[in-house]
Amino acid sequence: MNDSGNMKKYDKLVKNAVGRMVPTIINGEEHVPFMGVGKYKPTGRKHAPYIASCSDYPDDGNKQVASLKDALIKAGLKDGMTISTHHHFRNGDLIANQIFDIAKELGIKNLRWYPSASFACQERLIEYLEDGTINRIEGSMNGPLGKFTSEGRMKGLAVLRSHGGRYQAIQDGEVQIDIAVIAAPSADPFGNANGVDGPAACGLLGFALGDSQYADKVIVVTDNIVAFPCIPWQIHGNYVDYVVKVDKVGLPEKIISGTTQITKSPDRLLIAEITAKFCEQAGIIYDGFSYQAGAGGTALSIGNYFGDILKKNDWKASFIRAGSNEYPVKLLEEGYVKYILDGQTFDMEGIRSMRENANHVNTSPFTSYNYHGKGNFASMVDVVILGATEVDVNFNANVVTHSDGYMLHGIGGWQNCLFSKCTILPIPLFRDRIPVIIDEVTTLCGPGEMIDVIVTERGIAINPLRKDLIEKTKHSKLPIKTIEELKAEAEAICGVPQKPKLDDEIVAAIKWVDGTVIDVVRKVPI
Amino acid sequence: MNDSGNMKKYDKLVKNAVGRMVPTIINGEEHVPFMGVGKYKPTGRKHAPYIASCSDYPDDGNKQVASLKDALIKAGLKDGMTISTHHHFRNGDLIANQIFDIAKELGIKNLRWYPSASFACQERLIEYLEDGTINRIEGSMNGPLGKFTSEGRMKGLAVLRSHGGRYQAIQDGEVQIDIAVIAAPSADPFGNANGVDGPAACGLLGFALGDSQYADKVIVVTDNIVAFPCIPWQIHGNYVDYVVKVDKVGLPEKIISGTTQITKSPDRLLIAEITAKFCEQAGIIYDGFSYQAGAGGTALSIGNYFGDILKKNDWKASFIRAGSNEYPVKLLEEGYVKYILDGQTFDMEGIRSMRENANHVNTSPFTSYNYHGKGNFASMVDVVILGATEVDVNFNANVVTHSDGYMLHGIGGWQNCLFSKCTILPIPLFRDRIPVIIDEVTTLCGPGEMIDVIVTERGIAINPLRKDLIEKTKHSKLPIKTIEELKAEAEAICGVPQKPKLDDEIVAAIKWVDGTVIDVVRKVPI
């Protein structure tokens, strides 16, 4: 619990290892400034939840209570608590708003909301952020809540973490969750739960794994109660305190993202094609290689090119890290990929495949991304394709703020994926006539040393640190340029972009994967 | 770590809630005496392992080291440490002995060995128990090591825990494992491991789950290295420090128990038949019921009778808790059982089914038995069939010592299973002309209030606490008697048995599922 109602949002700024001024006191608690990739060594022990006893739980395993309100009251909801939710329902989530409606009704104040991400469907929580029911959001923010935060209107300081950083913060006790509310497409009365079955099927519940393991109280909410045992038990009922049946846990039509369409933009198709050619000629694609491509239009298209290369050579990828959708599922079912290691499903085919295929494996930020584990999978992936809102001439990249300074995106798994063997950002050279490659990123989310290749429609820039890639492609016909050349080309067309005018006031802290503070987001003047 | 070389084995005896004198100091550490079922309330927090960092593990995920010796040295093996192993290979284990050979070679002393069970194949560790390499065993002991302990020859005090109690002790920090060595039939270089594939396939690795989660250092040993990802990943590589490839990790022919044969003894068949009839007439078997029957001859036979009753009525069991073997697998595959929730596989059919059937689910002591969780599955099972070496007129039962006082068995999941809705002990009225029902059990492993029915070849005794079962069967033709009547019948045939003559010296403590001390084992004079 965190009594942060009248607390200074931040204090004691220092310059961190990438030259950014960051606070060392955030919402009253100490935080470590970024020290460089791999430099910060944690010394403590993991968070230790209270020991429970079966004698306090029903022998028949039935943990159902009448309503979410009952469950929150039984869980001891009170001022200053930390409430966590997951975002597997994305913009079809129906539960987060209800939690805070109940908190408001009960007169609770100063809650910390710790979602794995927030979406437009939660916009009306702004009311509770304004009236003090919620003190702040610590979690990725997409859209309206990010805008609200950018304008300096949130009482506490926002803290943004990657998916892996969110698990790390829970595991390390940096964020102690009082009550985790886990919305689940299927659950049994004991609290075993999964995302593959039920009317609101979303595939998996991996983002809530850490919450279930470490929160003091865990509430599972479902619209699909099944008889014990709910198999697969992606969430173990042995961690769960209460189970609540509701009429509708999520809106299926909004759970599935509408973005899983191959791009039709000629420029983006060109970028995708160049990216795939680069990977082929740099020798990154081979029999047994592994990759992660997101669910955006360009990334999907690159994934398809990768599939074509596998088929042409009769090769088999060892695994695809996903965000799954119909395209990787097709490759899996055609036998061109051994495994999909899936962190979230983006369409019905992804959900079906996870339900049906034993080699379509559900993962979590623990297995895939937690930097404070004994290794994770992110560093074993041969190539990842990521986006960025800005990249600078030192290959530093921004993924949370736009060129106008507004924070409209979360970090997601982006920082974690940077640890792959080759990170490629396929990006347009400019957006709305504003160059994407600039002198210095507004918000530094990923240090340049982690970003290997920038692919644009007008050329490829390889990070000078990657002498091996430069060597392998120097005799190719690929349009390889320096990043300064790409920047100059953009400026020749669009002019030199102006830096956004921002206030000094800090509205959000950006965490690195190890829990250190890599940058801040400053207020947009309104 | 535990510097117990010259420590008093035990101290400060008190009388516990079942009237047994038990030490409150064991091997220099404080322990709580048994306070009654469900009475002890833990107040602390779970054990908190050190926070790791990916920066200390190889980016390519390859944690292989040259040998088990290398791994143990890298893990920092030193005097007084606690070393854990699992017993999924049963009497075909090849690794435990090697660990202590290496310790001996390195001159290490006073180790605590924390196996989930020990078997005859580890008999030669007696040498190391005698020379001080190993101070004591805390774990179930079958056969020669139990005999060695019974004779008072172990330097430290043995501590026996149930499968659930072993997980509880790890989770609660009562036993802090310095190095866990997890022998695995398949593993990838990252340390993901499973028991279903490979030449030494044993089905699952659930007994090692807690070890992987909580030990300081975790070593996976396998003879079957597969490419990442090793799926299913029953053990997560994210918990693993080192991976060792050996020529042979276990002897397949000894992994599979030879005991999974239906009994041919007419007396045992009769006991099985009476047990099944009792369950049927008491209304315990219904469409959707659940049961656990072990892999012994009588239990297998009872399971078969249960199957017949399901088939006759065209009913479907909701789940079988197993110890799996060919018989429950057949019921699963014929559609008479929805799920097998399996804690260890006892034959090739069990292993095959776990590999092939999505509804043959691998479980662990965490999901099934841990009493310090938010509930567990044991209490949800309608009926369990268990064995016992002795039962007394108060329904207290013994499962670790024989009538001569020798400790020759471990507790296994026996104590945990007592929490089922109906616990039945089908036992012969006498063994080798020694009555099994006596005035007072030598070692009290399960309090009488947890044991509902005793079935013998000469009649059934229902615990007077179970008025419901008495009521339901009072008009049946079942041979229902009082336990005193059964005892008198046995004594009429065999005479009144003599109590074993034991020394005062305590050689082992018996833990209850909540970590309290329920009884002790005393030295057999030699």
Instruction: Look up the ipTM and state it.
Output: 0.96
Structure tokens that stand for B496 in this block = 């009144």
Of residues A233, A238, A380, nearest to B376 (C-beta): A238
**Do the chains contact at B376 and A419, CB–CB below 8 Å?**
no
Band of pLDDT at residue B259, cut at 50, 70 and 90: low
Cβ count near B178 (within 10 Å)? 21
Res A257: pLDDT:
61
**Is residue A381 within 8 Å of residue A290, measured between CB atoms?**
yes
Query: Which of B35, B43, B51 should be substituted to probe chain A, the one whose Cβ sees the most A Cβ atoms within 10 Å?
Result: B51
| Kind and range of the H or E run holding A161 | none
Give CA–CA dist B480/B472, Å, rounded: 12
**Do the chains contact at A375 and B61, CB–CB below 8 Å?**
yes
- Please check the confidence at residue B257 and state whether its pLDDT lies above 70: no
Band of pLDDT at residue B263, cut at 50, 70 and 90: confident
Q: Which among B246, B253, B241, B239 has a CA at the least distance from the CA of B186?
A: B246
Query: Which of A35, A54, A176, A449 should be substituted to probe chain B, the one whose Cβ sees the most B Cβ atoms within 10 Å?
Result: A54
Q: Which residues of B38-77 are buried (b: 16+ CB within 10 A; e: fewer)?
A: eebebeeebbbbebbbbbebeeebbbbbeebbebbeebeb
**Is residue A522 within 8 Å of residue A25, measured between CB atoms?**
no
Q: Mind telling me how many Å the CA of B493 is from chain A's nearest CA?
A: 41
Name, in order, each residue with C-beta under 8 angstroms of B19's C-beta and a sequence gap of 6 or more: none
Res A2: pLDDT:
45
Q: Mind telling me how many Å the CA of A289 is from chain B's nearest CA?
A: 11
User: From residue B326, how far is each of A382, B119, B255, B263, B349 by CA, in Å?
Assistant: 43, 23, 15, 15, 5
Q: Using CB atoms within 10 Å of the CB of residue A131, give its burial: 0 to 12 exposed, 13 to 18 middle, 19+ buried.
A: exposed
Q: pLDDT averaged over chain B?
A: 95
Nearest-5° Cα angle at A108, A104 to A109 = 105
- Phi/psi-derived region of residue B520, left when phi > 0, alpha when psi is between -120 and 50, beta in every other case: beta
Strands ordered across the beta sheet of A437-438 = A397-398, A390-392, A437-438
The residue type of B514 is D
pLDDT, mean of residues B385-409 = 95
| Kind and range of the H or E run holding B356 | helix B348-356
Name, in order, each residue with C-beta under 8 angstroms of B314's C-beta and a sequence gap of 6 or more: none
Give CA–CA dist B142/B119, Å, rounded: 5
Q: Please list the residue range(s) of chain B that carry CATH number 3.40.1080.10.
A: 60-138+175-255, 266-494
Partner residues linked to B504 by β-bridges: none
Query: Which of B54, B209, B422 should be substituted to probe chain A, the one whose Cβ sees the most A Cβ atoms within 10 Å?
Result: B54
**Is residue B162 within 8 Å of residue B411, measured between CB atoms?**
yes
Name, in order, each residue with C-beta under 8 angstroms of B179's C-beta and a sequence gap of 6 or more: B72, B75, B76, B77, B81, B82, B83, B84, B215, B216, B217, B218, B219
Instruction: Return the CATH architecture of domain B266-494.
Output: 3-Layer(aba) Sandwich (3.40)
Of residues A240, A379, A514, nearest to B59 (C-beta): A379
Structure tokens that stand for A249 in this block = 């846990």
**Is residue A238 within 8 Å of residue A218, measured between CB atoms?**
no
Res B499: pLDDT:
87
Q: Which among B250, B29, B244, B1 has a CA at the least distance from the CA of B108?
A: B1
Rounded to the nearest angstrom, the gap between the alpha carbon of residue B475 and the centroid of all alpha carbons in its chain is 37
Q: Which residues of A473-499 are buried (b: 16+ CB within 10 A; e: fewer)?
A: beeeebebbebeebbebbbeebeebee
CA-nearest residue to A371 within chain B is B54
Q: Which among A448, A489, A450, A453 has a CA at the least distance from the CA of A281?
A: A453
Q: Which one has a higher pLDDT value, B297 or A141?
A: A141
**Is residue A87 within 8 Å of residue A96, measured between CB atoms?**
no
Res B255: pLDDT:
80
Of residues A50, A227, A240, nearest to B318 (C-beta): A227
The residue type of B200 is A
Q: Please list the residue range(s) of chain A that carry CATH number 3.40.1080.10.
A: 63-255+505-522, 266-494
Residues of chain A with pLDDT under 70: 1-6, 257-260
Of residues B61, B241, B372, nearest to A53 (C-beta): B372
Name, in order, each residue with C-beta under 8 angstroms of B258's C-beta and a sequence gap of 6 or more: none
Nearest-5° Cα angle at A250, A244 to A251 = 155
Q: Which superfamily, per CATH, for B60-138+175-255?
A: Glutaconate Coenzyme A-transferase (3.40.1080.10)
Strand-pair category, A242-245 with A290-293: unpaired
Give CA–CA dist A39/B53, Å, rounded: 10
Instruction: Return the CATH architecture of domain A63-255+505-522.
Output: 3-Layer(aba) Sandwich (3.40)
- Please check the confidence at residue B5 and state whether its pLDDT lies above 70: no
Q: Mind telling me how many Å the CA of B246 is from chain A's nearest CA?
A: 22
Q: Which residue has the tokens 């680069």?
A: A278
- Please check the confidence at residue B510 and state whether its pLDDT lies above 60: yes
Q: Mind telling me how many Å the CA of A371 is from chain B's nearest CA?
A: 5
**Do the chains contact at A375 and B419, CB–CB below 8 Å?**
no
**Do the chains contact at A366 and B228, CB–CB below 8 Å?**
no
**Do the chains contact at A373 and B54, CB–CB below 8 Å?**
yes
Could you report the per-residue pLDDT of B49-103, keeping only the tens digit for each? 999 999 999 999 999 999 999 999 999 999 999 999 999 999 999 999 999 999 9
**Helix/strand/coil for B149:** helix
Cβ count near B248 (within 10 Å)? 12
Res B20: pLDDT:
98
| Kind and range of the H or E run holding B134 | strand B134-137
Q: Which residue has the tokens 């509701």?
A: A246
Res B2: pLDDT:
46
pLDDT, mean of residues B162-172 = 98
Structure tokens that stand for A80 in this block = 């200053």
Which DSSP category does B514 fall into?
T
Of residues A59, A241, A379, nearest to B374 (C-beta): A241
**Do the chains contact at A373 and B239, CB–CB below 8 Å?**
yes
Region of poorest pLDDT, from B201-205, B263-267, B283-287: B263-267
Give CA–CA dist B28/B9, Å, rounded: 7
**Helix/strand/coil for A390:** strand
Name, in order, each residue with C-beta under 8 angstroms of B22's C-beta and a sequence gap of 6 or more: B13, B14, B15, B16, B33, B34, B509, B517, B518, B519, B520
**Do the chains contact at A190 and B375, CB–CB below 8 Å?**
yes
Provide, as residue numbers in chain A, all residues whose Cβ is less than 8 Å from the Cβ of B52.
Answer: 42, 372-374
CA-nearest residue to A368 within chain B is B238
